[in-house]
Amino acid sequence: ELFPDGGMYYFHDFYITERYYVFYLNRMSFNALDMYTNTKTIVESIQFVDGNKVLLVDRKTLSRHYVDAPNMNCLHIALCRDTPTGVVAYASLIKDLDLRVENPYDFEKCNLHKMTVCAVGSKNMFVDKLVHIDAEMPKTRGDVIYMMNKNALVKHDVSTNTTKVVGFED
């Protein structure tokens, strides 16, 4: 993908709806010299910067719609649903993403958000934080999104906008 602004982006996940391929693009800079000279690892060579976007690719026409996203990073998209003007997407967003965490379940300050992405007309994005519990690694079944952190399993029902947390003993 040749991005229209010439920027570099990192995406870890995508989602497919009936109408779109959905990508959350985390803007980044990359220091290839440090990586190739073994000064830093590939993960240490990535720096996330402001300017994220959501890319919607129409599945029939393959036309692309870039929409400015908040300056929060996303690894996994939990759920997307088509709307007449774009998609509604659910994902855990985090302001300062660090790929070098010691514990893979340490998702401090990573919270589930609902994003309304408009690909037609204004090409705006509206974001609402749904859950104030730090959690990531979403799995979805129907209208329910399951996420986890190092202490609990989080269950959020998007149809009722209710959340339940089950703590881990160990």
Q: Model's pTM, two decimal places?
A: 0.86
User: CA dist 52 to 29, 39, 91, Å?
Assistant: 12, 27, 14
Decide if pLDDT at 16 tops 90.
Answer: yes
pLDDT at 145: 96
State residue 143's pLDDT score.
95
pLDDT in tens, 138-166: 999 999 999 998 888 999 999 999 999 99
Residue 104's pLDDT is what? Answer: 58
Q: With a cut of 90, say whether residue 45 has pLDDT above it.
A: no
Alpha carbon distances (Å) from 50 to 39, 67, 96, 120: 25, 14, 10, 24
Mean pLDDT of all residues in 89-96 = 90
Could you tell me which residues come within 8 angstroms of residue 129 by beta carbon, excluding any fewer than 6 positions away?
111, 112, 113
130 vs 103, higher pLDDT: 130
In whole angstroms, what separates CA 124 from the centre of its chain? 17
Percentage of the chain beyond pLDDT 70 is 94
Q: Which residue has the higher pLDDT, 4 or 55?
A: 55
More confident residue, 73 or 103: 73
pLDDT for res 101: 58
Predicted local confidence at residue 105, as pLDDT: 59
Q: State the average pLDDT for the chain.
A: 88
Report how far residue 111's alpha carbon sits from residue 8's, in angstroms, rounded to the nearest whole number.
Answer: 25
Please check the confidence at residue 100 and state whether its pLDDT lies above 70: no
Q: What order of strands is seen across the sheet that includes strand 86-94?
A: 73-83, 86-94, 110-118, 125-129
Element (H, E) at 38: none
The amino acid sitting at 111 is N
Q: Is residue 38 very low, low, confident or very high in pLDDT (cuts 50, 70, 90)?
A: confident
pLDDT at 109: 85
Continuous segment of H or E residues that includes residue 21: strand 20-30
Cβ neighbours of residue 13 under 8 Å, at least 6 residues apart? Answer: 24, 74, 75, 76, 77
